[in-house]
Amino acid sequence: MAHINVHTNLRNSRPLILFAGALLLLLLTQLWVITGKYQQDMREDLHGSIKAQLALLGATLQEAAIRGDLAQIKRNLEMWGQAHSEILAIRAISPNGFELVHYQAGALQGDMYVHKSAITVDGRQLITLEVTHNLSMINDRLRTMTLYMGVVSSLISGLFALTVWWIMTRFAIAPLNQELAARQRAENMIRESQQALVKAQLVAHMGSWSSDVAIEHMEWSQGLCQLLGVKVDEAPLPVERLLGLVPQPQQQSVLEMLDRLSQQQQNQVQMEHRIHRETGGVLQVLHRCERVEGANGPRVQGILIDTSQSEALRGALAASEEKFRNLFDNMGSGVAIYEAIDNGDDFIIRGFNKASTVFTKLDRESILGKRVTEIFPGIRAMGLLDLFKRVWHSGVPEHLPLTQYSDQRITQWVENYVYRLENGEVVAVFDDVTSNRQAQQELAQSELRFREMAETLEDVFWITSAHGHRILYVNPAFEKVWGYSVQALEQDINLWSQSIHPEDRARVEEALLQSTSHADGFDQEYRIVRGDDGQLRWIHNRGYPIEEQGQVVRVVGLATDITAKKENEAALQQAMRQAQQASQAKSEFLAAMSHEIRTPMNTVIGMTELLLETPLSEEQQRYVRSLRSSGTALLDVINAILDLTRIESGRLELTEERYDLHELMRETCEVMGYAAAKKKLEMVLEMNPNTPNYLVGDAPRLRQILINLVGNAIKFTEVGQVCVRVWLDEAVERLRIEVEDSGIGIPKEHINTIFDMFAQADSSMARRFGGSGLGLTISQRLAQLMGGRLAVQSQVQKGSCFTLSMPCQIGEEPAQEVVTETQSLTRQTLRILLAEDSVDNQNLIQAYLSRTSHELIYAINGEEAERYVKSGQPVDLILMDIQMPLVDGYTATRRIRAWEQQQGRPAVPIVALTAHALKEDEMRSLEAGCDAHLTKPIGKKQLLQVLAHYPRRESTP
């Protein structure tokens, strides 16, 4: 029943079966056509893949082919063949047809495909690659598919209507699946090939892209993405992605290159440019692009090869060549390169460095390419040409010792070292030692002159090793100074240190040791004990280390016998000590004489003042005034002598205090104006408006100079005037004071000695005008201490002009004092303790105070004064003489101050009365505790003014 149904169905379905069969036959026919087309497409795709692989392989081998590195080419071919299983053999063939490198992976049998590709640079063919591929696998699949198609066709013709659907479902789909499987396997092979291509690109630092002819979007290979550090999130990428990585200046050139391909102006282009990596860095790449015909029409492919390392190598090679050229040109020795001709009988000059041109005095450009025998006609006579030939033949370097070369142009002493290069050229390295030989001769002459000079020196000239362990040279003067022979010192260098006095030896040895560590050397004076007679001699030894390349190599020195100098210095020091003792004795004598003279003069002048206060006749008053004038004159002489003594001994110190210059000038002129008025002379003071009001300096000493100058002008002027002019010389910031008179003038022969001590124009002046002759001397010395000087211009019977020029320091204006309340000094009765051992001075003080209410208490020495104060009896003021028996005034004052401090009592005022008139005497009084210092002789008015400063003290229990 089933069979009947089948047949029925078949019969009923015959039209359908026939239709299905026809349809199936039509489908199988179409499938057969498609299979053929697929086989053809597979072959075309394989050919395109093979061509791309060969282009990539050619780019990889280009650098090695340029260098001719067959070993590198072979390694790359082996690596390429191992990475591609379908490759059976690879051959590298030279342009003339010779096989250079051969690689074979297996037996050359079955269906094979051979492809050739040429590697060219700048249009020049370097090598041809011949690659043999195994197509057996693909052909086997194609044959199997064809067999399947035949079986299917046979079954379809044997089966008919009832089995048509089963045949269609069973045998029509299965071949299709098999075909898809075959296509999948082919695609896998292509994928494997592409992966191998990616690996090769990564190894070769290259990448590729492909695009349609419009070049609007690109498909980047994995190698290109890794090369440029780009992470691909989409495919294809727009062309702007690649152009954006190209530096701006080169973008237009890359775009124009792509346009030429797109517009079919060129089928193959390439250029070098820089490109940025998105992860950082810049690469130098070779960018090659070409149009290819694919299965789906023309396409554009591009390859980017990283040539940064090649650029670096070329740069290193260029730098190396530059270094060689610099080394060649800047060598201190002459270097010449020669090429042999005529079988070595002559040579052509191919290279000449700068030193060679200097040595030979030739221009390099004018001699290159010329025969050496033409340029140096004397080269054969000196034997250098034969040496060139021997080295050229044997390749063994040779040395021509110092030899004289001579021709009509130059004569030189040269030394040559000759070598042969691998290319057969001969190199000669030579030095012109003519100047060295001249220097050697001059050195020999210099050494001779040095030895002659050293051996005639009276000083000991010596040279030792760096640390003084060995004597290199010592001149014959050593024997005279040290008392040892030079031979003895050379045999035993310890004689040098052993002869040094034991007290000086350690110091000198240490100085000599340290001299090797610094460039200053050493300079020592020490004593030695002569070896022959044991005499003690003084030596001044100077040593100087000599350095070479930063190291001390020897020490040279000069030792001088300074015994006579030391003896003279000792004598001079003794004389100086004696002079200082004499000066000290003179100062002490003058101080003592001043004290002894001032003490009685205090009484004489004081008594004259008291006599003038008593009723006297006119004649008696004249006698007393004469007595007072003589005493004052004597006192002036004493003061002048003391001032001069202090100036000469350097003990006169100037004070630095602010003072009113205008007031000082007015007061001085007013005081001296009385003397001028007595002689009916006009006293004129001219103050320039630019004169500052306040200066800083020693006003008393300036007043002393002015009094001397104005006093002399009045003394030597009988008629006319004395004019004092003051102004500031702003150009040099110096104060100028002129004192001009219309007196007798100074003769020219005496004007240069006018400032000498005790000097006057002539001896008659001393008798006529009086004076000690010290005033101008002291004034000049004081001016010099102030940094100034005195100058004089004078004409006999017309007058003189003395000019004081001194630096000035302008002082600040004093602050305006605000007086809130004034209290007049009340005249009070003081209890005064007078400590004075001179009865005359006691009587004088008592006479000064006889008409006052002051109470006077006497102490004849410092001990009595101290005892009185400590007794607690009331006292308001102490007049303390300094020079007294038992206890002097200094000691008594210090003891009283110490007792007051111990007892917590207020200090009683102490005024020193002394005949010591020096500044240091005043300072000593103040340091001892005195409140004031009065120098004898003391006038009544002066004493009363001092007493008026001290009020009465309250009684202290």
277 lies in some domain: yes
Q: 807 preceded by cis ω (within 30°)?
A: no
First to last CA, the chain: 173
**Sign (positive/negative) of CA torsion 842, 846, 848, 849?**
positive
- Beta-sheet strand order (sheet of 877-881): 855-859, 831-835, 877-881, 910-914, 932-935
Residue with tokens 């060689």: 324
Nearest-angstrom CA–CA distance, 691 and 216: 97
Q: Are 256 and 243 in contact (CB under 8 A)?
A: no
Answer yes or no: do 739 and 763 share one domain: yes
pLDDT at residue 834 in the model: 93
Q: How far is CA 463 from the centre of its chain?
A: 35
Strand 297-306 relative to strand 426-432, pairing: unpaired
* DSSP bridge partners of 734: 729, 807
Residue 595 confidence (pLDDT) above 70: no
- Which pair of structure tokens corresponds to residue 883? 């020079």
CA distances from 683 to 13, 125, 705, 737 (A): 171, 123, 17, 15
Half-sphere exposure of 813 (CA within 13 A, CB side): 4
Nearest-angstrom CA–CA distance, 55 and 100: 19
Answer yes or no: do 886 and 864 share one domain: yes
- Of residues 683 and 135, more confidence is placed in 683
The DSSP code for 265 is S
Q: Are 202 and 224 in contact (CB under 8 A)?
A: no
- Of residues 576 and 584, more confidence is placed in 576
Answer yes or no: do 767 and 868 share one domain: no
Q: Are 880 and 893 in contact (CB under 8 A)?
A: yes
pLDDT at residue 820 in the model: 40
pLDDT tens figures, 389-410: 999 999 999 999 888 888 888 8
339 lies in some domain: no
Residue 169 confidence (pLDDT) above 60: no
3 lies in some domain: no
- The backbone region for 210, taken as left when phi is positive above 0, alpha when psi lies in -120 to 50, beta otherwise, is beta
- Beta-sheet strand order (sheet of 297-306): 237-238, 217-220, 206-212, 297-306, 282-294, 268-276
Nearest-angstrom CA–CA distance, 399 and 429: 10
Strand 536-548 relative to strand 551-561, pairing: antiparallel
pLDDT at residue 37 in the model: 63
pLDDT at residue 198 in the model: 62
pLDDT tens figures, 855-903: 999 999 999 999 999 998 889 999 999 888 889 999 999 999 999 999 9
CB atoms within 10 A of CB 733: 11
For the chain, percent of residues with pLDDT exceeding 90: 17
pLDDT at residue 77 in the model: 76
- Helix (H) or strand (E) holding 886, with range, is none
- Of residues 240 and 35, more confidence is placed in 240
Nearest-angstrom CA–CA distance, 418 and 395: 10
Q: How far is CA 859 from the centre of its chain?
A: 76
Backbone angles phi, psi at 196, to 5 degrees: -65, -40
Band of residue 243 on the pLDDT scale cut at 50, 70, 90: confident
Mean pLDDT of the residues in the chain: 79
* DSSP bridge partners of 112: 134
Say whether 36 sits in a helix, a strand or coil. helix
pLDDT tens figures, 3-41: 444 344 444 445 545 555 565 566 556 556 655 665 566
The DSSP code for 1 is -
pLDDT at residue 880 in the model: 93
CA distances from 88 to 61, 99, 132, 137, 216 (A): 19, 17, 6, 13, 38
Q: Are 791 and 800 in contact (CB under 8 A)?
A: no
CB atoms within 10 A of CB 209: 22
Residue 423 confidence (pLDDT) above 80: yes
621 lies in some domain: no
pLDDT at residue 892 in the model: 93
CA distances from 415 to 344, 387, 432 (A): 21, 13, 7
Q: Are 388 and 417 in contact (CB under 8 A)?
A: no
CA distances from 416 to 333, 369, 778, 883 (A): 10, 21, 85, 100
Answer yes or no: do 292 and 205 share one domain: yes
Task: Pick the closest to residue 590 from 631, 638, 634 (CA basis).
Answer: 638
Nearest-angstrom CA–CA distance, 855 and 303: 131
pLDDT at residue 490 in the model: 84
Say whether 529 sits in a helix, a strand or coil. strand
CATH number of residue 212's parent domain:
3.30.450.20
- Which pair of structure tokens corresponds to residue 782? 């004081």
Task: Pick the closest to residue 472 from 412, 553, 393 (CA basis).
Answer: 553
- The last residue of one of the domains, among 438, 454, 480, is 438
- The last residue of one of the domains, among 110, 141, 172, is 141
CA distances from 939 to 504, 604, 636, 936 (A): 64, 11, 15, 8
Band of residue 632 on the pLDDT scale cut at 50, 70, 90: low
372 burial (CB, 10 Å; 0-12 / 13-18 / 19+) is: buried
pLDDT at residue 772 in the model: 55
Answer yes or no: do 300 and 349 share one domain: no
Backbone angles phi, psi at 98, to 5 degrees: -85, 140
181 lies in some domain: no
pLDDT at residue 340 in the model: 93
58 lies in some domain: yes
Counting the structural domains of the chain, the total is 6
Answer yes or no: do 858 and 765 share one domain: no
Who contacts 125 (Cβ-Cβ below 8 Å, separation ≥6)? 95, 118, 119
Answer yes or no: do 429 and 534 share one domain: no
pLDDT at residue 940 in the model: 82
Q: For helices 136-158 and 173-203, give the axis angle rounded to 10 degrees.
A: 170
| pTM assigned to the model | 0.37
pLDDT tens figures, 245-266: 899 889 898 888 888 888 888 8
pLDDT at residue 311 in the model: 66
- Of residues 342 and 128, more confidence is placed in 342
Residue 173 confidence (pLDDT) above 70: no
Residue with tokens 């070409």: 290
Residue with tokens 């692009």: 289
Nearest-angstrom CA–CA distance, 133 and 117: 14
Q: Are 814 and 658 in contact (CB under 8 A)?
A: yes
Least confident of 310-314, 510-514, 661-665, 795-799: 310-314
Band of residue 435 on the pLDDT scale cut at 50, 70, 90: confident
Residue 681 confidence (pLDDT) above 80: yes
pLDDT at residue 79 in the model: 79
Average pLDDT over residues 65-86: 74
pLDDT at residue 396 in the model: 93
CATH number of residue 856's parent domain:
3.40.50.2300
Average pLDDT over residues 575-587: 77
Residue 919 confidence (pLDDT) above 80: no
Answer yes or no: do 287 and 368 share one domain: no
Who contacts 629 (Cβ-Cβ below 8 Å, separation ≥6)? none
pLDDT at residue 546 in the model: 84
Q: For helices 14-67 and 136-158, give the axis angle rounded to 10 degrees.
A: 180
Nearest-angstrom CA–CA distance, 938 and 834: 14
- Helix (H) or strand (E) holding 291, with range, is strand 282-294
- Which pair of structure tokens corresponds to residue 598? 């001032």
Answer yes or no: do 853 and 939 share one domain: yes
Answer yes or no: do 682 and 735 share one domain: yes
Answer yes or no: do 665 and 799 share one domain: yes
Residue 771 confidence (pLDDT) above 70: no
Q: 937 preceded by cis ω (within 30°)?
A: yes
- Of residues 510 and 916, more confidence is placed in 510
pLDDT tens figures, 801-841: 999 999 988 888 776 544 443 333 345 789 999 998 888 88
pLDDT at residue 827 in the model: 58
Task: Pick the closest to residue 468 from 451, 441, 449, 489 (CA basis).
Answer: 489
* DSSP bridge partners of 283: 275
590 lies in some domain: no
- Domain span holding position 103: 35-141
pLDDT at residue 890 in the model: 92
- Which pair of structure tokens corresponds to residue 882? 């300094």
Q: Are 766 and 773 in contact (CB under 8 A)?
A: yes
176 lies in some domain: no
Strand 855-859 relative to strand 831-835, pairing: parallel
Nearest-angstrom CA–CA distance, 904 and 513: 65
434 burial (CB, 10 Å; 0-12 / 13-18 / 19+) is: middle
- The last residue of one of the domains, among 810, 839, 862, is 810
pLDDT tens figures, 920-941: 778 888 999 999 988 877 878 8
Who contacts 337 (Cβ-Cβ below 8 Å, separation ≥6)? 349, 350, 351, 352, 421, 425, 426, 427
Strand 721-729 relative to strand 682-687, pairing: parallel
Residue 766 confidence (pLDDT) above 50: no
Amino acid in position 639: N
CB atoms within 10 A of CB 375: 16
Half-sphere exposure of 529 (CA within 13 A, CB side): 11
User: What DSSP letter does each residue of 410-465 carry, written as one string?
Assistant: -EEEEEEEEEE-TTS-EEEEEEE-HHHHHHHHHHHHHHHHHHHHHHH-SSEEEEEE
Average pLDDT over residues 377-390: 91
- Of residues 299 and 8, more confidence is placed in 299
Answer yes or no: do 767 and 709 share one domain: yes
pLDDT tens figures, 301-331: 898 888 877 666 666 666 766 766 777 777 7
Task: Pick the closest to residue 776 from 794, 795, 758, 793 (CA basis).
Answer: 758
- How many helices (H) and strands (E) the chain has is answered by 30, 33
